[in-house]
A = this chain, B = another copy of it.
């Protein structure tokens, strides 16, 4: 029989994650938070509904949070009627939000004072991965607590990594997305250049795909978006801008130069500011194509 799990934050990502946990047989308590519709949906699937994060914690061994940013995480865990008020020594809190690792570590320190443990477990894989249960989790925090929750992660994801102390899950995700953003801009600039100079985009993709300029952007994103000139998300530019902002802010706090990361962040924000925030993050390629007067995708 499964552990008693609490789940707070049942939005686009959280709802399908919670469903997969229910399907795997875990007992679940959730609570009202912003939008009642997905809460009712989970209730029909067997979840209990508590009146506050505190009450969720009273009824659970492990509480999972999946929230937009640090202020919400802080309020739900540390605020009045928050998780920590209901938690007992030994309780585990898993935060799957992408937030500043400095905020994570600050919250975790308070959590630890009550004898509880916090794991930061940001994920990648998007809504599709959340529905399919194929997310990747990068988990920071106590190794024993991590092992105790392995079955929970495996109900929601496919690749589960313990990457270090608390906060390191967030750090790893931000580092990954910093490179993702930079690599994307490399693809945008090089493909606009290549096509305008006379190459076919498919030829460029094929040859670079076995060469030193290759990247996951070329393998995973390019064929579905830029090569088809369609930018339905996927991974929204708004979210990419948020993650780049967090990465660059962390770098500033730690005195790490980010000359290329900063340029990248500026270009992403520029395109977001042009009203493309809800498109796939690869939509930044359209800025280059518009200015160059060229279409990477070629004729249809």
Contacts and interface: CB of A to CB of B under 8 A. Distances in A.
Interface of A: 101, 124, 136, 138, 159, 161, 163-165, 167-168, 171-172, 174-180, 182-183, 185-187, 189-194, 196-200, 203-204, 206-208, 210-217, 220-221, 245, 247, 250-252, 254-267, 269-270, 273-274, 287-288, 290-293
Given A136-B211, A193-B250, A175 B161 contact: no
Given A179-B187, A190-B175, A256 B208 contact: no
A269 B257 contact: yes
Nearest to A275: B291
A175 B175 CA distance: 25
Q: Which 6 A-B pairs have the closest CB atoms?
A: A182-B186, A273-B291, A179-B213, A176-B213, A215-B215, A185-B260
30 contacts: A163-B199, A163-B207, A165-B198, A168-B198, A172-B204, A172-B207, A172-B208, A174-B193, A175-B191, A175-B193, A175-B199, A176-B190, A177-B212, A177-B213, A179-B215, A180-B212, A180-B213, A182-B190, A183-B186, A183-B215, A185-B260, A189-B256, A189-B257, A212-B221, A256-B288, A257-B273, A257-B287, A259-B270, A273-B290, A273-B292
A196 B220 CA distance: 29
Candidate in A179, A189, A265 with the most chain B CB atoms within 10 angstroms: A179
The majority secondary structure among interface residues of chain A is: helix
B178 A190 contact: yes
B182 A260 contact: yes
Contacts of A287: 257
